[in-house]
Structure 1
Amino acid sequence: MSTNQQEIPALKANGNLRQPLSPDGIPASILVVDDSPAKQKAVVSIVSRMGLDVTTASSGREALRLLLKQDFAVILLDVKMPVMDGFETATLIHGRPRSAHTPIIFITAEADSDSERFLAYTMGAVDYIFSPIVPEVLCAKLRVFVDLFYMQRKLILQADELRQSKQLLRQLASHQEMIKEEERKRIAREIHDELGQNLLALRIDASMLHARTARMHPKLNEKAAHALNHIDTTIKSVRSIINNLRPPVLDLGLQAAIEWQIQEFRRRSGISCELTVVTEEFDKDLGEKCATALFRILQESLTNVIRHAKASQVDVVLSKESGWLGMKISDNGIGLRQDQTKRGQTFGLQGIDERIQMLGGELKIESVPGQGTSLTISMPVN
């Protein structure tokens, strides 16, 4: 083997052509455009040895028709062709958005002038080789662009895999959240049916004891009153636990549950909170999964306001338009810094964002330090 052959990257040490490796096993397609059957056959013979798929065209017009049907990794284009020469063909190829960045290698005779070579590069050519063609040189040049094509295809495949992985994770997270909600409902139901009923029966007995000992046993009556107070406090705590697990009012619809939650927020925090419903029948035909998610988002948002915002006013706006539900929660608190809104990890925003992404929704955060924060949630109706 000659030294020159060993230095050519398209060749292995034994002189055989080193084939580019496709990331998905599908060979790249090369388009050979030449009106000479002999030259066309020679080029096809060289390119085929690289394990590439080769398509031929005998004219510029035929090449353009083929480009409407498929994409090519590289186009080998003869300069001298009748009716439409290589320069005109290249201009039309790169004038189409889909093939605007397809590499074109011009093939022409050695006698061509430097001006024509310059014209070829201005037409978007990536290379310019002369005939008779040296197979090793053509293969080396082709390999560069085929490797770039495979690299781009690999990035596209990886991006698709990443999107599929993210979609799968969202589905798993959504399923996990659904299981959590079902478990909350079960626990709330058991607490209500078992513990709630037992506490109610106990309260009735304590109330009767308190009434009967009012005159005859003052000390026992006092203890009965204390027991009655403890039972009432426990019943309130149990009701609070049930409402946090799964508010029964949610079965009446999302809007009713939101109205109840806002009343509870006012009572617990003393912060003014106003609800505006822009669209009538906001929650009509709304799936339970979406309704529960929006309710939990509101709960988390109002809890964050109490803990962190130092606000005196909160406004909640509900809307529905073109198959999308909207919920905007605004406060007049201390606001967030710009870096905090970008990270989406402050004040529980990460958990809110995860809930929204599970259902294919969007979260927009607007905040100015000292002027409050606004969360806009958009959720597709499912």
Structure 2
Amino acid sequence: MNKRIFLLVTLPFVACSARASDAHFMVPPLLRSAAPELLICILVTMAALVLACLSLRRSVGLEERARTLHGQLAAERESRAQSEQALADNHDVVYRLVRQNEDVRDSERTRIARELQSELGRRLLTLRTDLSNLHDSATSAQAPALASRLESAMQHIDGAIGAVRAVAGGLRGFGPGDGLRHALERCLAEHAHLYGMRYRFEAGIDPSSRATQDRSARLAVFRVLQDVLATAARVQHGELHVRLLENAGSLGLEIDGCASAPGEVASLPAELIDQIRTMGGVLRVIATSGHAGRWSLSLPVRNSAPDLATEMAVVA
């Protein structure tokens, strides 16, 4: 309490306790003839009014300050909401850009695989046919040394043809009209044929799943299976158990029997791992009761993405 308020509150009591001669000079001339009781009431009323005015002024100042702070808080909240919305829009643009970039890369892989098979594969087959004719001629001419060397060359060419087919199969994805289940089964069959692996494949499909509308998610699942199988082909394994899980809002893949350690996720290409993270997916190796870990992939699925230029125009 400041000094003025203290004096106003204590003034009536001072007036009552002071001597008459002293109180006489403290009272205005117009009120000196009034009764002491009336004088005390007037002084107390004046002090109460002054206190009320000061309290009202203080409360008005506090209300104005509260309104100012409330306005600043509302402005900060609005600015934060706008920043969060802009960040979400930018993340969505990056998300769609990654998906479209993966579609472009898949198209390029498919083109390279087609050229490998149509050009290099055709030339190797032609060369093998020529060597086969020369081998027959050498056999007819009773030249065993030449025939043996030609037969060895034919075996090398057979190995080159198999390698070209394996590389082309690893590059090839699946077309827009191909189903994910068919593509996974084809990939498993090719690896089983090349490396002699045994496998089981299961597919759990939810009728309400939107996975068929999300090509990038299906392509990511296909690439994970390809890379995991390429890693598994270097080590002798038992039977692989692959499960495709299509839920209403997610697409999952589980692979058992790869003898994978929990830290083996880093063995996959870094660009594939970054793509899965950008898409909001989770890829990990889960420890199981057996010696082999379980590869687990889960990806959210979305409807078909609009054109990226249109999306960026909306964000801008």
> Aligning the two structures, in what range does the TM-score lie when normalised by the shorter sequence?
0.5 to 0.7
Tell me the equivalent position of 2:286: 367
* Residue 189 of structure 1, CA deviation: 1.6
Q: How does 1:186-265 map to 2 (within 5 A)?
A: 186-216=111-141, 217-246=143-172, 253-265=179-191
Out of 273, 276, 283, the position equivalent to 2:202 is: 276
> Between Structure 1 and Structure 2, how many residues are aligned?
248
Instruction: Say whether the 8 Å CA contact 2:210–2:248 is kept in structure 1.
Output: no
Structure 2 vs 1, CA of residues 286 and 274 (structure 1 numbering), >3 Å: closer, same or farther?
farther
* Residue 157 of structure 1, CA deviation: 1.9
More strand by share: 1
Report the Cα distance in structure 2 between the residues aligned to 1:364 and 1:227, rounded to whole angstroms.
44
Q: Kindly provide the amino acid, as one letter, of the partner of residue 287 in structure 2.
A: V
Instruction: Say whether the 8 Å CA contact 2:204–2:245 is kept in structure 1.
Output: yes
Tell me the equivalent position of 1:179: 104
Tell me the equivalent position of 2:225: 298
Report the Cα distance in structure 2 between the residues aligned to 1:254 and 1:207, rounded to whole angstroms.
40
- The TM-score normalised by the length of structure 2 is 0.62
Instruction: Say whether the 8 Å CA contact 1:356–1:362 is kept in structure 2.
Output: yes
Which secondary structure does the structure 1 equivalent of 2:139 belong to? coil
Larger Rg: 2
Over the matched positions of the two proteins, sequence identity in percent amounts to 23
Tell me the equivalent position of 1:31: none
Q: Does residue 377 in structure 1 map to residue 302 in structure 2?
A: no
Structure 2 vs 1, CA of residues 350 and 252 (structure 1 numbering), >3 Å: closer, same or farther?
same
Q: Kindly provide the amino acid, as one letter, of the partner of residue 157 in structure 1.
A: Q
Q: Kindly provide the amino acid, as one letter, of the partner of residue 268 in structure 2.
A: G
Q: Which moved more, 1:347-356 or 1:297-306?
A: 347-356
Report the Cα distance in structure 2 between the residues aligned to 1:148 and 1:345, rounded to whole angstroms.
45
* Residue 140 of structure 1, CA deviation: 2.6
Q: Deviations over 1:239-278 (max 9, x none)?
A: 1121111157997643233123224445666665321123
* Residue 233 of structure 1, CA deviation: 1.5
* Residue 362 of structure 1, CA deviation: 3.8
Q: Does residue 148 in structure 1 map to residue 73 in structure 2?
A: yes
Aligned Cα RMSD in Å?
A: 4.0
Report the Cα distance in structure 2 between the residues aligned to 1:160 and 1:200, rounded to whole angstroms.
58
Q: Kindly provide the amino acid, as one letter, of the partner of residue 282 in structure 2.
A: L
* Residue 198 of structure 1, CA deviation: 1.4
Tell me the equivalent position of 1:348: 268
Q: Kindly provide the amino acid, as one letter, of the partner of residue 301 in structure 1.
A: V
Gaps of 5+ in 2: 1-50, 304-316
Structure 2 vs 1, CA of residues 148 and 234 (structure 1 numbering), >3 Å: closer, same or farther?
same
Report the Cα distance in structure 1 between the residues aligned to 2:133 and 2:206, rounded to whole angstroms.
48
Q: Does residue 168 in structure 1 map to residue 109 in structure 2?
A: no
Gaps of 5+ in 1: 1-109, 112-128
Structure with the larger RCO, 1 or 2 (CA within 8 Å, 6+ apart)? 2
Report the Cα distance in structure 2 between the residues aligned to 1:260 and 1:284, rounded to whole angstroms.
19
Report the Cα distance in structure 2 between the residues aligned to 1:219 and 1:366, rounded to whole angstroms.
54
